[in-house]
Structure 1
Amino acid sequence: MKLGIGIGWRPEIADAVEALPGIDWVETVAENVCTGHLPDSLVRLRDRGVTVVPHGVALGLGGAERPDAGRLADLAARAELLGSPLVTEHIAFVRAGGPRTASPGLEAGHLLPVPRTWDALDVLCENVRIAQDSLPVPLALENIAALVSWPDEELTEGQFLAELVERTGVRLLIDVANLHTNHVNRGEDPATALDELPVEAIAYVHVAGGVEKDGVWHDTHAHPVTRPVLDVLAELRSRVDPPGVLLERDDDFPPASELADELTTIRATLDRAATLGALRKETPSTPAATAGRVASRPAPGAEGSAHADSVRDRVAVAQTALLSALVAGTPAPHGFDHHRLGIQSRALAAKRAGVVAKVAPELPEILGAGYRDAFLAYARTRPMSAGYRRDALDFAEGLLIVGRPADAAARRRLTHWWQDRAGARPPRRTTRLVRAARAALVGR
């Protein structure tokens, strides 16, 4: 199916997206769409014949647990509501811990890389098949950007994606900005990945901006698209004509004219790459797509459910150890780069602070300039376990327990805010003392 040129629809730029010329389709974050009421902007776009694709971020198909049936049902409902020809998600894990590891459940609030191992591939493939059976339209999965690398990986990114497609028939959403990110942060050549993966399985392509700081590329989706990312897009287009290409922007939204300019640049890049690709010596596509293939290991289903569960247990232990190091301050697992883990940990905490400020804008208003430092201090000892709105309530409660903020008027405002949303009275003095003592013990 040909999608054409599109842009990520976000409420902050809804009017601009509607007015942009030459937009064939849009993509919206699935979890931000209420099935009971579509935003008027999306309704108008859909009525104009603009295709709308829901893009999920919360399934965690790369995680050790099987996909949550409720989350799958919600994603299916959004696809049907929008009349979408496909839905997309990520090759990532977003939570860990729980009964399988006899440890507290942890939420990353971010897309984290799965190890490119046979175990992780076995788990991912089963999860993908479960998702495919639950969705009314085809599924495409996106490669993600990563700051950290797993030790002792057994497959390259291209090989991992090729095996995934071979086993499940899933489509691919290739993010060229993420290929560039992994080139800078992990030394992985985008051209090699493109040679190894099955480009004929591409459903569409993401293009997004980022920024480099101290030798680390941050995939921000809040900066203009850079020339190196466009070069990777050109590399991809020289191999295949992707059905769709989409510009992503999630923050620090520029004027509509700048978005239009970026779309014009993307179109020009595709046109030039198509011309150069046509001039190349023609070579069969199959050898190129399978050049990096390795012999497949049998899927765990052939050996029984007990073996499949033992594979999941191994993946669960590894992912829980990594996520715990990132959000709970536990020791870094063996083989990981401690410096990179520190960068990722700080980035996750900063993202939490930013998202909580968006879902609960009253908090930075009440706390003023001290909001960010107070939240980061809270995040060092309180991993997220139930989403950002719960995180905001827990943060406010934690401040009230220790008698903050110091300003009495601000503390009253915070108390009233907490009461309105928690549906209960703030903890009494005895409860506060007990919780404070527990927190002190945990922090030792």
Structure 2
Amino acid sequence: MAFFALSRVSRRLLKPSVSATQSSFSVFKSQHIYFSKPVTTTHYINPFPKYPSWNYNDEVWSKGTELHQDNFIGLGWNYRLVAGMSYSSSSSAMDGNPKKDDKEKSGVGVKEASWIDLYLPEGARGYAKLARLDKPIGTWLLAWPCMWSIALAADPGSLPSFKMMGLFGCGALLLRGAGCTINDLLDQDIDTKVDRTRLRPIASGLLTPFQGIQFLGLQLLLGLGILLQLNNYSRVLGASSLLLVFSYPLMKRFTFWPQAFLGLTINWGALLGWTAVKGSLEPAVVIPLYLSGVCWTLVYDTIYAHQDKEDDVKVGVKSTALRFGDNTKLWLTGFGTASMGFLALSGLSADLGWQYYASLVAASGQLGWQIGTADLSSGADCSRKFVSNKWFGAIIFSGVVLGRTFQ
């Protein structure tokens, strides 16, 4: 009898407790929810009460869906809402994972809880998302040129300065966050019209523009604290990068080459890292390093821009993805080749050991894999290729360290 009772309880726990369509949303109290397409959702009762429910505030989760009020009622710890899809009692539904082919056909994304939603206080979540703390790839892409330059500036047979790498790592986190804040403030009118960006804190109304400006001031103040710890030459050089940081978000309105301006901005650390260690510039070393970073950025950010090309046409903004069109991979091959050539020239000027050139071979393979296998019609694949550039940066950095240490 006990076994029979336990079996009945288990089945009740796994039984869908809510089935909602366009005309039935009693489970959501008096909240107003509008769907452009019929939606069927399944909510499984959470059998593990120690895991907290996740309440997602004031955001639009998918195209054609508008959410009002503060939260849902009783959403389980592994709950996802996917507009335009139906869940079944299969194992994929239990996991909260719709079938991959269904996602591809519908073209509708899934909004999942990040560590920000799970662990930060509610009042801090909007600011953390504004700084993209849940998406560290931007920080890596900003930090790697700094690390390359610091490692190049090390004395022969020595490791790079850990103090400088720590300072520049913190600076990359702050400056990337500041750049994202500036971008969201200037682009809020555009972000609301693009599927990938319509959930950003300012565009979605989670934060007001004034709150964004206040947060930007705090980030720049903390960044200034780091900059003041460097030598005078580096302070002037670092402060001059702010002109690029503030102007880059506007470039997509005027030119098909905003990715080139991003390259000039995000690779400024290739110049700054060397001067922070040496107190002056060595053009033969750092200029090729800087140009290699610009060409590298044109590769990865053009791939990234292919996610938004249809929305960009509708909104009226420009990108290299639209400029290159069907010839994108040919252009990317040219920029990738130029990037590797500039890296080799920088290594020759710095008299690095053979280990560095071995790393260039490996990095060339990684970059070639990105360009050759990128499915430019798939936003998910473009995003994966974009994120993989953290490994490209790591390969180059390891090569510089080994080439300098065993010089």
**Which category of TM-score, normalised to the shorter sequence, fits these structures?**
under 0.3
Structure having the larger proportion of residues in strand = 1
Larger Rg: 2
- When normalised by structure 1's length, the TM-score is 0.21
Structure having the larger proportion of residues in helix = 2
- When normalised by structure 2's length, the TM-score is 0.23
